[in-house]
Amino acid sequence: MSVITYEELLASFRKGLRNRNWRKLNFLDKALVRASLWYAKHRGSIVNTALVEKLLAFAEKLKETKGMRIFKRGFEKAVKMLEKSGEEGGVFTWAPQLKHWLKDPDYIFWLGTVRWSGIATKGNNFLSK
């Protein structure tokens, strides 16, 4: 049974305000967080399972940083590249060291920062969205 307290909600709320993720939530989500903050402050911790799950999801969104988003984007690109590794004539045939690089967190972070221009060849465009 998971419980969320006022202090946990308030910490997530403040972090979201500081890193400007609060503005990314829609009006109803903001209203739910505000109402939950009031309830937790005046009535005690929140124990409703469905509400706690929703609030924990909002807390994750609010606590997310730029670095986390960049790393997540790089990880998605690395996964795409590894999925395409079985293709004949793929990038791993002429760059076998790339498989090892894709396990390095620094390289994955770098992948997340790079915006691909679509220069890859037509058959091997594994980096496009």
| Confidence class for position 89, pLDDT limits 50, 70, 90 | low
Q: Which amino acid is at 66?
A: K
For the chain, what are the domain ranges?
6-64, 67-113
Q: Which amino acid is at 42?
A: H
With vertex at residue 67, the alpha carbon angle to CA 62 and CA 72, rounded to the nearest 5 degrees, is: 85
Crossing angle of helices 49-63/6-18, nearest 10°? 30
pTM above 0.75, yes or no: no
pLDDT tens digits for range 59-85: 999 998 888 989 999 999 888 888 776
